[in-house]
Amino acid sequence: MTNYIPVLIIIIFAFLIAALIVGASSILGHKISKKTKLDTYECGMKTIGPTRMKMNIRYYLTAMLFLIFDIEVMFLYPWALVTGNLGMFGFLEMLVFVIILLVGYVYVWKKGALEWE
């Protein structure tokens, strides 16, 4: 249990410092309360238009594609670490994996999902 004491100390310090900073700024700082301060982004400018913008659908599409092709790295990376030991089998298996991914990639490309108009 004694091993957790450093964690406890860090937690105590975290709380102390947070309390100190917030407390100090509320005691020492001067307060302004105006309408602009309650705005979504307090940068002195008046906000233009609704704050909830509709995103272009392409963002979602890109997110989906990113997700899929990002995951492939999860398999490639461990494979790359031991590829020397795996020999021909490992190489062939990964080739199959990459070819299947490539089919997906060609599909995405030809469907025009990679273009941003």
The residues binding other proteins (CB under 8 A) are 3-4, 57, 60, 63-65, 67-68, 70-71, 74-75, 78, 82, 85-90, 92, 100, 103, 106-107, 110-111
Asked if residues 39 and 47 have their Cβ atoms less than 8 Å apart, the reply is: yes
* Residue 25 one-letter amino acid: S
| CA 117 – CA 43 distance, rounded (Å) | 32
Q: Residue 65 or 94: which CB sits closer to other proteins?
A: 65
Least distance between other proteins and beta carbon 57 (Å)? 6
Q: Residue 19 or 63: which CB sits closer to other proteins?
A: 63
Q: Where are the alpha helices (DSSP H) in the chain?
A: 5-28, 57-110
Q: Residue 38 or 99: which CB sits closer to other proteins?
A: 99
39 Cβ contact partners less than 8 Å away, ≥ 6 residues apart? 46, 47
Q: Residue 21 or 106: which CB sits closer to other proteins?
A: 106
